[in-house]
């Protein structure tokens, strides 16, 4: 067995080695043929799709002693130095670990004007560029404005939508796509053959699916499996190694859900817990399984079903046969919400339990439109379930709001607050999740529900948003027996209460409502709260949807930073509103300004 990891060993060294990014390669070669590269390139795409490898090949091709050439020679000293990461003129910077402005200044601003030591160009490859701090960005931007002719920047990111428009506009953009299951499988097969490794087809597929479109992850997993099995890699090795839920288990979950058997599902969760199962991964698999079930039900063979192992395809077919499409969609929606909730930091196990029990009790909560499972549980069982759901919900909430408070709530609040007049948790009240920030490649989860608004795959942070169609029905449960809210002081706490995204909610607590009319709201933030401003702006569609539901009219929201020239409508009321809002959802007031997260 070789000492070098498979990933390093099989890392692409030339454009011809790159799998699946033909469009990018073709354009880059045209650039090289022209002999005059642009000053800055932006490589966007999910992780593990070859952005950094491509950047390195591009740098080699630009600087190669035999070039500039359409392919690096990989023989000359410059090519070899770049490959080893010791070239004096090619700088690879991982923005995730160089977030201080001094480092960037050191790497770029101060040295950029010196001519290259040896190569034709100075190439700066900045990985995960969206992770640069604002001040580092500004330093970079200054250089991008007037870069010297001998400098080429290659910025790589999984989160292009987090980049400032000023950066985007100065870069030539290249989009790397996630790999299909088949491409990953083919590549694994190729490497297994070259490495003389026996790889079972089902094991290969399990590895490829776990890699979720990332070739790098696939190779790392293959290597792990090779070590784990100590020889031929069989499916059971991969299942054990990855802590996968076997397909049969997922099939049993589906059946239990169909029968509304919450007890069996909670038992399964307990079993997983005892078995040391990773709940986060289990939820990912669950989402993936339900998505495939949906594809099976609508007969979307071309959407990837054809690439599945035959046995698994058969199992999906027989499960889908007994289910209504509405049922599958309902479960999938619940599972995707669950996945997002866990990513937002909610505790995995209890969230999973909550979700499963909720999905088992559609009779209690769902409107008539929801399709019913074949067997309806009896009324007392339902009542018990509903209570269980409420308990779980309370637990999740108390865990969510547990972080240390900077300003503890005055003690005049009774510790046990009266039950608020709402009828959660009902599936119809589920709101669309905030715009997904994560761009990790989870192809199975990407835009799974037709009912949700399609988000553009990549958002450019335009100052103006395309108009949102008015919601057909209120997205939120309305207080006051369904009456629209018309008062600002009533509206604000309800809006806060309706937000699922904990971070958004915390940030909104620092915002103020400046204009309040039936159609237009202006939310304003102190001029010091740039991070809040950006985050809230990104989620403005969600806020519009929730607000439209609360006010029962189509509401547009503008988010502004405080220029301090106007007095907010609710200036004086704000403090008490925050308190009231926190009372409504049982939290303590956090100093949200200091809680903007670590990213």
Q: What are phi and psi of 315, to 5 degrees?
A: -60, -40
Contact range with Zn ion by CB under 5 A, out of 60-68, 275-283, 383-391, 440-448 = 60-68
Reported as type and span, the H/E element at residue 172 is strand 172-175
Minimum distance from residue 87 beta carbon to Zn ion (Å): 11
Minimum distance from residue 152 beta carbon to Zn ion (Å): 16
> Does 76 sit near Zn ion (CB under 5 A)?
yes
Residue with smaller CB distance to Zn ion, 72 or 493 = 72
Minimum distance from residue 161 beta carbon to Zn ion (Å): 36
Contact range with Zn ion by CB under 5 A, out of 58-66, 295-303, 393-401, 432-440 = 58-66
Burial class (CB within 10 angstroms; exposed 0-12, middle 13-18, buried 19+) of 19? middle
Residue with smaller CB distance to Zn ion, 65 or 200 = 65
Residue with smaller CB distance to Zn ion, 76 or 324 = 76
Label the pairing between strands 122-127 and 90-94: parallel
Reported as type and span, the H/E element at residue 56 is helix 51-63
Question: Do 82 and 59 form a contact (C-beta atoms < 8 A)?
Answer: yes
Residue with smaller CB distance to Zn ion, 48 or 68 = 68
Q: Report residue 151 as tokens.
A: 């400098």
Residue with smaller CB distance to Zn ion, 86 or 378 = 86
Q: Which of 399-416 are b and which e, b meaning 16 or more Cβ less than 10 Å from the residue's Cβ?
A: ebbeeeeeeeeeeeeeee
Residue with smaller CB distance to Zn ion, 120 or 150 = 120
Minimum distance from residue 403 beta carbon to Zn ion (Å): 53
Residue with smaller CB distance to Zn ion, 62 or 308 = 62
Quote the CA–CA distance of 91 and 103 in Å, as a whole number: 12
Contact range with Zn ion by CB under 5 A, out of 48-56, 72-80, 401-409, 527-535 = 72-80
Taken as a whole, the chain contains a residue count of 599
Place of tokens 């779980």: 392
Minimum distance from residue 17 beta carbon to Zn ion (Å): 15
CA of 557: how far to CAs of 41, 478, 481, 494, 518, in Å?
34, 19, 25, 16, 11
Total of residues contacting Zn ion (CB under 5 A): 4
Contact range with Zn ion by CB under 5 A, out of 11-19, 67-75, 302-310, 466-474 = 67-75
Which DSSP letter does residue 305 get? G
Residue with smaller CB distance to Zn ion, 73 or 164 = 73
Q: How many CB atoms lie within 10 A of CB 460?
A: 12
Minimum distance from residue 54 beta carbon to Zn ion (Å): 17
**String marking each residue 368-387 x if it binds Zn ion according to CB under 5 A:** --------------------
Contact range with Zn ion by CB under 5 A, out of 69-77, 361-369, 382-390, 439-447 = 69-77
Starting at the edge strand found earlier in the chain, the sheet holding 520-525 runs 512-516, 520-525, 556-561
> Does 119 sit near Zn ion (CB under 5 A)?
no
Residue with smaller CB distance to Zn ion, 152 or 181 = 152
Contact range with Zn ion by CB under 5 A, out of 68-76, 86-94, 179-187, 381-389 = 68-76
Residue with smaller CB distance to Zn ion, 74 or 468 = 74
Minimum distance from residue 58 beta carbon to Zn ion (Å): 13
Minimum distance from residue 15 beta carbon to Zn ion (Å): 13
Residue with smaller CB distance to Zn ion, 85 or 246 = 85
**String marking each residue 7-46 x if it binds Zn ion according to CB under 5 A:** ----------------------------------------
CA of 502: how far to CAs of 345, 396, 449, 499, 559, in Å?
9, 12, 23, 7, 19
Quote the CA–CA distance of 238 and 225 in Å, as a whole number: 6
Among residues 71, 14, 49, which one has the least CA distance to residue 183? 49
Among 59, 79, 238, 546, binds Zn ion (CB under 5 A): 79
Minimum distance from residue 495 beta carbon to Zn ion (Å): 60
Minimum distance from residue 72 beta carbon to Zn ion (Å): 5
Among 6, 57, 64, 495, binds Zn ion (CB under 5 A): 64
Residue with smaller CB distance to Zn ion, 1 or 117 = 117
Angle, vertex CA 351, rays to CA 350 and CA 355, nearest 5: 115
Quote the CA–CA distance of 340 and 372 in Å, as a whole number: 25
Residue with smaller CB distance to Zn ion, 61 or 348 = 61
Contact range with Zn ion by CB under 5 A, out of 16-24, 77-85, 231-239, 478-486 = 77-85
Q: Which of 221-240 are b and which e, b meaning 16 or more Cβ less than 10 Å from the residue's Cβ?
A: bbbbbbeebeeebbbebbbe
CA of 541: how far to CAs of 170, 401, 453, 545, 560, in Å?
28, 25, 10, 6, 15
Contact range with Zn ion by CB under 5 A, out of 56-64, 134-142, 447-455, 566-574 = 56-64
Site for Zn ion in 351-370 (CB under 5 A): none
Number of H helices, E strands in the chain: 25, 8
Quote the CA–CA distance of 150 and 160 in Å, as a whole number: 25
Contact range with Zn ion by CB under 5 A, out of 76-84, 219-227, 242-250, 389-397 = 76-84
Question: Do 329 and 449 form a contact (C-beta atoms < 8 A)?
Answer: yes
> Does 73 sit near Zn ion (CB under 5 A)?
yes
Residue 91's contacts (CB-CB under 8 Å, 6 or more residues apart) are 107, 108, 122, 123, 124, 125
Interacting residue ranges for Zn ion, rule: CB under 5 A: 64, 73, 76, 79
């Amino acid at each position: 067995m070789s000492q070098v990891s498979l990933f390093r060993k099989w890392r692409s060294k030339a454009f011809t080695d790159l799998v699946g990014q033909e469009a990018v390669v073709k354009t880059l070669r045209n650039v090289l043929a022209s002999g005059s590269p642009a000053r800055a390139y932006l490589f966007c795409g999910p992780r593990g799709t070859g952005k950094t490898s491509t950047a390195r090949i591009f740098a080699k091709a630009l600087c190669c002693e035999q070039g500039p050439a359409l392919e690096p020679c990989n023989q000359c000293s410059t090519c070899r130095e770049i490959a080893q990461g010791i070239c004096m003129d090619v700088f690879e910077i991982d923005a995730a670990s160089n977030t201080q402005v001094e480092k960037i200044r050191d790497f770029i601003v101060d040295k950029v004007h010196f001519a290259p030591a040896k190569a034709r160009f100075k190439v700066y490859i900045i990985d995960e560029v969206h992770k640069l701090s604002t001040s580092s960005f500004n330093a970079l931007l200054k250089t991008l404005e007037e870069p010297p002719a001998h400098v080429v920047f290659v910025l790589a990111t999984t989160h292009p939508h987090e980049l400032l428009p000023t950066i985007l506009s100065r870069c030539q953009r290249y989009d790397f796509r996630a790999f299909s299951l088949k491409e990953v499988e083919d590549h694994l097969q190729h490497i297994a053959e070259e490495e003389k490794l026996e790889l079972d087809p089902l094991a290969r597929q399990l590895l490829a699916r776990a890699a979720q479109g990332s070739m790098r992850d696939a190779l790392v997993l293959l290597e792990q499996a090779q070590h784990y099995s100590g020889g031929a890699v069989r499916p059971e090795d991969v299942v054990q190694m990855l802590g996968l839920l076997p397909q049969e288990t997922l099939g049993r979950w589906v059946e239990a859900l169909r029968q509304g058997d919450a007890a069996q599902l909670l038992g399964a969760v307990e079993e997983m817990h005892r078995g040391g199962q990773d709940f986060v991964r289990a939820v990912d698999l669950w989402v993936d399984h339900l998505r495939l079930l949906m594809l099976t039900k609508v007969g979307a063979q071309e959407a990837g079903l054809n690439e599945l192992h035959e046995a698994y395809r058969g199992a999906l077919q027989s499960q889908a046969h007994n289910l209504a499409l509405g049922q599958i969609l309902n479960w999938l929606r619940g599972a995707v919400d669950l996945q997002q909730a866990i990513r937002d930091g909610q505790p995995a196990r209890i969230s999973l339990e909550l979700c499963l029990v909720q999905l088992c009790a559609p009779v209690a909560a769902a409107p008539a439109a929801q399709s019913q499972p074949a067997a309806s549980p009896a009324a007392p069982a339902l009542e018990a379930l509903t209570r269980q759901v409420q308990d779980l919900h309370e637990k999740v909430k108390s865990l969510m709001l547990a972080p240390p408070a900077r300003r503890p709530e005055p003690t005049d609040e009774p510790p046990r607050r009266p039950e608020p007049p709402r009828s959660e948790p009902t599936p119809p009240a589920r709101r669309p999740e905030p715009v997904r920030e994560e761009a990790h490649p989870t192809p199975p989860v990407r835009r799974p529900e037709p009912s949700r608004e399609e988000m553009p795959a990549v958002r450019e942070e335009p100052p103006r948003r395309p108009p949102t169609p008015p919601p057909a029905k209120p997205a939120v449960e309305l207080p006051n027996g369904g009456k629209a809210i018309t008062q600002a002081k009533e509206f604000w706490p309800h809006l806060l209460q309706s937000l699922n995204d904990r971070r958004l909610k915390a940030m909104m607590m620092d915002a103020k409502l400046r204009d309040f009319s039936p159609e237009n709201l202006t939310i304003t933030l102190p001029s010091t709260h740039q991070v809040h401003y950006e985050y809230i702006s990104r989620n403005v569609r969600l806020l519009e949807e929730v607000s439209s539901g609360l006010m029962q009219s189509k509401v547009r929201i503008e988010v502004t930073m405080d220029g301090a020239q106007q007095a907010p409508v609710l200036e004086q009321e704000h403090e008490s509103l925050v308190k009231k809002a926190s009372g409504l959802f049982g939290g303590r007031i956090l100093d949200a300004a200091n809680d903007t997260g670590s990213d």
